[in-house]
Amino acid sequence: MIFKEILIRYGELSTKGRNKNDFIRRLRENIRYSFHDILPLNIRAERDRMFIEIENDEKYQVLMERLPEIFGIQSFSPVASCNKNMDDMKQLAIEIMAQHSNQPLTFKVEVRRTDKTFPYDTHMIQRELGGTVLSKYQNISVQVKNPDVELRVEVRHDAIYMMGQIVPGAGGMPIGSNGKSLLMLSGGIDSPVAGYLMMKRGVRIEAIHFYSPPYTSEHSLQKVKDLANELTKFGAKIRLHIIPFTEIQVLIKERVPENMTMTTTRRMMLRIADKVREEIGALAIVTGESLGQVASQTLESLTAINDVTSTPILRPLIAADKLDIIHIAERIGTYETSVLPYEDCCTIFTPARPKTKPKIEKVAHYESFTDFDELIERAVRNRETHLLPEKKVTADKFADLL
Amino acid sequence: MNSNTIYLDNSATTKPLPEVMQTFLQVNELYYANPASIHEAGVEANALLMRAREQIANIVRTEAKDVIFTAGGTESNNFAIFGTAQANVHKGKHIITTKIEHPSVLEAVKILAQQGFEVDYLSVNEAGVISLDELRSKVRKDTILVSIMHVNNEMGAIQPIQDAAKIIHEQSRAIFHVDAVQSFGKIPVQFNDQNGPDLITISGHKIHALKGSGALIFRKKLTIAPYIVGGGQEFGLRSGTVAVPQAVALAKASRIAVEAMAEKTLQYEKWYKDLHLFLRNFGSNIHLLSSEAGAAHIISFSVKELKGEILINALQKHGIIVSTSSACSSKQTTTSHVVEALNIAPSFKKGVLRLSFGAQTIDAHIEQFKTIFSDIMCDLKGENK
């Protein structure tokens, strides 16, 4: 194990002036959260970068595996160290460059001498280490202007530090640095992706799901929990609010003309979501809506649905193509769960021909004959909440079988 | 077989462990639903199947989704070879294997050879081990598949898988398949990135699980075509309703084997050394095919100018079950391809015997074998020990 620490370069937050300390603090917290299973972590934060100490190989593996998924990190590098003499430095340079020796590439040696008393100057170090690497690996050559790899050498007071690999991070901003929003999580492909994109912009997420037993099964509920759970791996806990929705859905079907039920259903969902949002102190509502994808996502429908609230509704996917959304879902690991075949509350009582251009006045007119307020209050009051990730289930009924 | 039988043919197959049988029965009683069904019982069966997959994946250090359950070693080997060849034919048509592979590999590549693939066979030295230099000289840019068994089933030679993997991955884009049927559960079998295999075959009934169960395990998402097509089970790679009870039994037997590996290895090594010493007493009448560097659970030797069958029958009369070189080829009258590849003297080619130990072998079995075998040799050869 030659690596002693991992150097982390901050994402966009370098440019954020006064808020910087807050961002660094959140990033540090998020890292500790994501690696809660390998604590304690020794994290040292500087103005433009952060160092995590590595004590053993296992820790190193876990860090390298999960760091690319944490928001607020532009890139990171494993850093090795050795004693301050030329033989050890050469040996370390060879070991670090070994990982790049499979394909032909160019490199240069970059030196930073914090310890000015070190007998070798920058040029000598570059020449010695460069020569060593060149004679060891045939397919590596030198390029100073635009090398594929920079072998960075830092001469510090205690030791020599070296790195030769820059791993791209997830970018974005640390979760929590941009407030909290409520995500409408359906169980489909889009909403988890919308949640992911907002989290990447530093938004802390709580999720709301509408559940219509007995028409939708326990499995569809489990599916939504699994999806929310998938999202927690990006560095934050997520609270999931499950709204009992059967009563309202049945009532809508009775009281509203069939081709309007879809619009009214969405309006009720949004009213409920808005109430929950207010209770939890979130500022906005996030949805996975994408323009024109289905009847409820035409501009006319969105307008009619949006009419029930003045809360900002964030729709990060509004202009995204389905294929691009699927691509992100696959990358973040929610796709496979999303396409499981369980029905959700939107697919029951679907009208054969829903209005794609509903008029607000008409919808409001039909709804005005029924008092939904009390049902909405009750649904909000009777909601179930789950904090994810959930603690592992205690009893394992398969244990003796395996 | 009655309960007094001394069973020393564990490389042919093993007796399922009682706890594995219990799992098998319980899964059949409680989780018999089709794991592809969406009702609750199906979901539960699938959850159990995934746990079995995970357990095996952990042992060989890969991910659960890379474990494909099959009906055994032969299917896994066929799948690995035909699947790789079909999916990679655009990259090349060159295949490398060894002369001492199991027939499920050799016959498969023979069919590919008839279809226009070029097959190179690595030879082995007298200890049954391939030459890395020969491998190095044969791996080419257009090599798409190298299939090398880990432990030989007839005489226990262990191949240098790690070194071979380095050579193969450095010199080509070939997929490296390792038939680990005889090694899994007995010596460590693991993926190891560039220094290990890409595909591993394992079989259940060699490690005290049930016959008709095995797996082909992938290092990463490889391009390999399905060999059995249909309903798209096992991630589309192996259709057919998955035999959940067999798969769970395989996972359990694997765990038990791996947990007991250190202890069993010590035992096997003790018996192996003991029998080596014992057999050397017969001087020039016995030739040892197994070498000290081979696997400790297989010991193979040959008696001069005698047919293996005669010895097997004689031992059987005293309740001891052993086999000629391998169960698959023991009914054929010709000399086995492995014995041919080892290049041993003609007078020793017919009398090959194989003893293989398993989890239920005990000290007394080995002692009993020694006594009976001495008597038989005395009768047949007039040896005085």
Question: pLDDT of A324-351, one tens digit each?
Answer: 999 999 999 899 888 887 766 666 677 7
Q: Please report how many Cα atoms fall inside a 13 Å half-sphere around the Cα of residue B235, on the Cβ side.
A: 19
Between strands A105-113 and A149-155, the pairing is: parallel
A65 vs A393: which has the higher pLDDT = A65
B291 and B237, same domain (yes or no): no
Q: A176: closest CA among A316, A49, A71?
A: A71
B192 and B271, same domain (yes or no): no
CATH of the domain at B125: 3.40.640.10
Q: Which residues of B touch A402 (CB under 8 A)?
A: 23, 51-52, 55, 248, 251-252, 255
- What count of other Cβ atoms lies within 10 Å of the Cβ of residue A48? 11
In this complex, do A219 and B55 lie within 8 Å of one another by their Cβ atoms?
no
| Residue B1 domain flag | no
Given B205, B227, B258, the domain boundary residue is B258
Q: Which residues of A touch B38 (CB under 8 A)?
A: 219, 341-342
Q: Are A112 and A214 in contact (CB under 8 A)?
A: no
In the numeric block, the tokens 């000598």 are attached to A124
Enter the tokens of residue A187: 């169980």
Question: pLDDT of A159-217, one tens digit each?
Answer: 899 998 889 998 888 888 888 999 999 989 999 999 999 999 999 999 999 998 888 88
* Whether B48 contacts chain A with CB within 8 A: yes
Asked about B328 being catalytic, the answer comes back as yes
Looking at chain A, which residue has its C-alpha nearest residue B254?
Answer: A402
3-state SS, chain A, equals: CCEEEEEEEECHHHHCHHHHHHHHHHHHHHHHHHCHHHCCCCEEECCCEEEEECCCHHHHHHHHHHHHHCCCEEEEEEEEEECCCHHHHHHHHHHHHHCCCCCCEEEEEEEEECCCCCCCCHHHHHHHHHHHHHHHCCCEEECCCCCCEEEEEEECCCCEEEECCCEEEEECCCCCCCCEEEEECCCCCHHHHHHHHHHHCCCEEEEEEEECCCCCCHHHHHHHHHHHHHHHCCCCCEEEEEEECHHHHHHHHHHCCHHHHHHHHHHHHHHHHHHHHHHHCCCEEECCCCCCCCHHHCHHHHHHHHCCCCCCEECCCCCCCHHHHHHHHHHHCCHHHHCCCCCCHHHCCCCCCCCCCCCHHHHHHHHCCCCCHHHHHHHHHCCEEEEECCCCCCCCCCCCCC
Between strands A160-163 and A149-155, the pairing is: antiparallel
Q: How far is A396 from chain B (nearest CA, A)?
A: 11
What is the distance between the alpha carbons of residues A49 and A27, in angstroms, rounded to a whole number? 11
What is the distance between the alpha carbons of residues B72 and B214, in angstroms, rounded to a whole number? 4
Q: Is the pLDDT score of A10 beyond 90? A: no
B164 and B177, same domain (yes or no): yes
SS3 content of chain B, % helix, strand, coil (to 5): 45, 15, 40
Chain centre to alpha carbon of residue B377: 30
Q: Is the pLDDT score of A400 beyond 50? A: yes
Question: pLDDT of A240-296, one tens digit each?
Answer: 999 999 999 989 988 999 888 999 999 999 999 999 999 999 999 999 999 988 888
State how many domains chain B has: 2
What is the distance between the alpha carbons of residues B123 and A330, in angstroms, rounded to a whole number? 46
| Residue B345 domain flag | yes
Tell me which amino acid residue B349 is: K
Q: Is the pLDDT score of A15 beyond 70? A: no
Looking at chain A, which residue has its C-alpha nearest residue B256?
Answer: A402
At B177, phi and psi to the nearest 5?
Answer: -100, 135
Q: Are B298 and B155 in contact (CB under 8 A)?
A: yes
Q: Are A10 and A50 in contact (CB under 8 A)?
A: yes
- What count of other Cβ atoms lies within 10 Å of the Cβ of residue B339? 25
In this complex, do B252 and A219 lie within 8 Å of one another by their Cβ atoms?
no
What percentage of chain A carries pLDDT values higher than 90? 43
* Whether B251 contacts chain A with CB within 8 A: yes
Enter the tokens of residue B261: 């590996």
Q: Are B179 and B201 in contact (CB under 8 A)?
A: yes
Which of helix, strand or coil describes residue B55? Answer: helix
B72 and B216, same domain (yes or no): yes
Provide the pLDDT confidence category of residue A109 given band limits of 50, 70 and 90: very high
What is the distance between the alpha carbons of residues A49 and A30, in angstroms, rounded to a whole number? 15
Residues 6+ apart with CB under 8 A from A168: A68, A74, A75
In this complex, do A401 and B26 lie within 8 Å of one another by their Cβ atoms?
yes
What is the distance between the alpha carbons of residues A93 and A177, in angstroms, rounded to a whole number? 39
- Domain extent for B347: 6-15+260-381
Q: Are B96 and B139 in contact (CB under 8 A)?
A: yes
Provide the pLDDT confidence category of residue A140 given band limits of 50, 70 and 90: confident
Q: Please report how many Cα atoms fall inside a 13 Å half-sphere around the Cα of residue B146, on the Cβ side.
A: 28
What is the distance between the alpha carbons of residues B55 and B244, in angstroms, rounded to a whole number? 14
Looking at chain A, which residue has its C-alpha nearest residue B255?
Answer: A402
Q: Are B230 and B239 in contact (CB under 8 A)?
A: yes
Dihedral (Cα; B219, B248, B73, B10), 10-degree rounding: 120
Identity of the residue in A218, A219, A402 whose CB atom sits nearest the CB atom of B51 = A402
In this complex, do B51 and A398 lie within 8 Å of one another by their Cβ atoms?
yes
Q: Please report how many Cα atoms fall inside a 13 Å half-sphere around the Cα of residue A139, on the Cβ side.
A: 8
What does the pLDDT read at residue B327? Answer: 56
B362 and B277, same domain (yes or no): yes
B250 and B304, same domain (yes or no): no
Catalytic residue, candidates B127, B260, B321, B328: B328
Q: How far is A198 from chain B (nearest CA, A)?
A: 30
Q: How far is A58 from chain B (nearest CA, A)?
A: 14
First CA to last CA distance, chain A: 35
In the numeric block, the tokens 């095995």 are attached to B214
What domains appear along chain A, each with residue ranges and CATH number?
3-171 (3.30.2130.30), 180-388 (3.40.50.620)
In this complex, do B48 and A219 lie within 8 Å of one another by their Cβ atoms?
no
Given B221, B243, B258, the domain boundary residue is B258
Which of helix, strand or coil describes residue B246? Answer: helix
* Whether B26 contacts chain A with CB within 8 A: yes
In the numeric block, the tokens 């039994």 are attached to B249
Enter the tokens of residue B237: 């790679």
B279 and B232, same domain (yes or no): no
In this complex, do B23 and A398 lie within 8 Å of one another by their Cβ atoms?
no
Given B241, B258, B275, the domain boundary residue is B258
Residues 6+ apart with CB under 8 A from A280: A180, A182, A206, A239
Q: Is the pTM of this model over 0.80?
A: no
Which of helix, strand or coil describes residue B143? Answer: strand
Identity of the residue in B40, B43, B255 whose CB atom sits nearest the CB atom of A402 = B255
Q: Are A125 and A153 in contact (CB under 8 A)?
A: yes
Tell me which amino acid residue A199 is: M
In this complex, do A401 and B248 lie within 8 Å of one another by their Cβ atoms?
yes
B206 and B293, same domain (yes or no): no
B250 and B283, same domain (yes or no): no
Chains A, B: CB pairs < 8 Å: 25
* Whether B38 contacts chain A with CB within 8 A: yes
CATH of the domain at B266: 3.90.1150.10
What does the pLDDT read at residue A18? Answer: 67
Q: What is the full per-residue pLDDT of chain B (385 aa) written as tens digits?
A: 777 899 999 999 999 999 999 999 999 999 999 999 988 899 899 999 999 999 999 999 998 989 999 999 999 999 999 999 999 999 999 999 999 999 999 999 999 999 999 999 999 999 999 999 999 999 999 999 999 999 999 999 999 999 999 999 999 999 999 999 999 999 999 998 888 999 999 999 999 999 999 999 999 767 799 999 999 999 999 999 999 999 999 999 999 999 999 999 999 999 999 999 999 999 888 999 998 889 999 999 999 988 888 889 999 999 999 998 765 555 556 788 888 888 888 888 888 999 999 999 999 999 999 999 999 988 887 654 4
B220 and B346, same domain (yes or no): no
Check residue B130 and report its DSSP letter. B
Q: Is the pLDDT score of A13 beyond 70? A: no
Beta-sheet strand order (sheet of B286-288): B286-288, B298-303, B352-356
B346 and B231, same domain (yes or no): no
B11 and B38, same domain (yes or no): no
First CA to last CA distance, chain B: 30
